Amino acid sequence: MRKAWIAAGVAAAAPFGLVALLAAAVAGMSGGPSSSGGSAAVSLAPGAVPAAYGPAIEHWGRLCPEISPALLAAQLYQESGFDPRAVSPVGAQGIAQFMPGTWPQWSTDGDGDGRRDPFDADDAIPSAARYDCALARSTGSVPGDRTDNMLAAYNAGAYRVIQHKGVPPYTETRNYVQNIRTLERSFGVVEAPLPPSALAVGAIEFAQSKLGTPYLWGGEGTAADRGRFDCSGLTQAAYEKVGVKLPRVANDQWNAGRHPQRSELLPGDLVFFANDLTDPRSIHHVGIYVGGGTMIHAPYTGEVIRFGTIDKPDYIGATRVTPEGAQALPLRVPSTVVAAGAGAPQNAFTDATPTPTPTPRPQSTTPKPPTPRPMITAAARPRN
């Protein structure tokens, strides 16, 4: 009943009374900052990964106790952004970013076509799970969290984990482990209700202050843009106002927190729209939910930032942003640079930039193994 009253009140509120109403609602419901805590995420949240990869991740993510479907999904996203054609600057290949020297030992013919191809997700996903579990066994006697040690071994090599008696002191490796453990919560389903966000009021207040501002494809609100935004530029700026750095592209903003169901939406949630409702990589538009089935968004060229309904055929879902969820997202840049406005659709919701491609992780100043995927010892090889 209380949620229904809040939703109805937000929908009916005059624009300049909206922030005060939201502040009261969020304060009354949250009682404090947002949290990504809760029960451990095991299965995948609905719609969290491209549907083509979901069954394999669900199946192979249970290969050993140290991994879960949500953790395997987070690892694949961190490695390649679910791009089966990805090739890193150091030569790592496919959705799981296997090095050519590591692939022959751990590869699996997952689809039974007689080939083991690192660029075939049906082969690479089970191979990644198999390699993870082998690394977990090889570092099983090392003190500390077994999953953390496994992930560190995937990044820096099992020898380094054994040598340092836990996660090595390399900035890259420690960030890799922390980010995947955080993203695991974003990709996983949880039984407990998601807590509301105390950041919502500030983000919505910023978005409300931009109502009536003309849309600019590629706009980020800078002086050069004359204060104009596109959809993901607006949401990025709104959350940056409250200290959260979101990715620039809408389909990466999707992974900045857990995903509430339509009936669980709260003010401040990001709401997304996609060309393919089975694949979040096809997300093309994002807005900020304000309650009552309504969002503030920057629609398209020729329009202004305004209120709009979220109940559209291309609505794919929502994200409750958390600072740690946003911080865990991998650094990405557009694969091509397109001038703002050049070739932008004129009458459809659209994101600012093309689908991003992975960039190399920043190098640690601490010495580390020469390759990011060193093979573990033959003694640790799993039995078939």
Crossing angle of helices 146-156 and 69-80, in 10° steps, is 20
- What does 120-183 look like in DSSP terms, one character per residue? -HHHHHHHHHHHHHHHHHHTTTSSS-HHHHHHHHHHH-HHHHHHTTSS-S-HHHHHHHHHHHHH
DSSP type of residue 276: S
Residues 190, 193, 199, 201, CA torsion sign: positive
CATH 3.90.1720.10 residue ranges of the chain are: 198-328
- Domain 198-328 top-level CATH class: alpha beta
User: Helix or strand or coil: residue 279?
Assistant: coil
- List, by residue number, the catalytic residues: 231, 285, 297
Radius of gyration for the chain, computed over Cα atoms and rounded to the nearest angstrom: 22
Q: How far apart are CA 128 and CA 121, in angstroms?
A: 10
- Give the residue among 265, 274, 270, 281 at the shortest CA–CA distance from 316: 274
Third-level CATH fold of 53-187: Lysozyme (1.10.530)
Decide: 111 and 120 in contact? Cβ < 8 Å: yes
Tell me if the pTM is above 0.75: no
Q: Are 282 and 276 in contact (CB under 8 A)?
A: yes
Among candidate residues 231, 180, 194, 181, the one with its CA nearest the CA of residue 320? 194
Torsion of CA 27, 319, 128, 60, to 10 degrees: 90
Measured N-to-C along each axis, helices 146-156 and 171-187 cross at an angle, to the nearest 10 degrees, of 120
CATH 1.10.530.10 domain locations along the chain: 53-187
Question: pLDDT by residue for the chain (384 residues), tens digit each?
Answer: 333 333 333 443 444 455 554 544 444 443 333 333 332 447 898 889 999 999 999 999 999 999 999 999 999 999 999 999 999 999 999 999 999 999 999 999 999 999 999 999 999 999 999 999 999 999 999 999 999 999 999 999 999 999 999 999 999 999 999 999 999 988 988 666 777 777 899 999 999 999 999 999 999 999 999 999 999 999 999 999 999 999 999 999 999 999 999 999 999 999 999 999 999 999 999 999 999 999 999 999 999 999 999 999 999 999 999 999 999 887 553 332 222 222 233 334 444 333 333 334 433 444 444 344 433 333 333 333
The candidate with the shortest Cα–Cα distance to 71, out of 195, 157, 191, 177, is 177
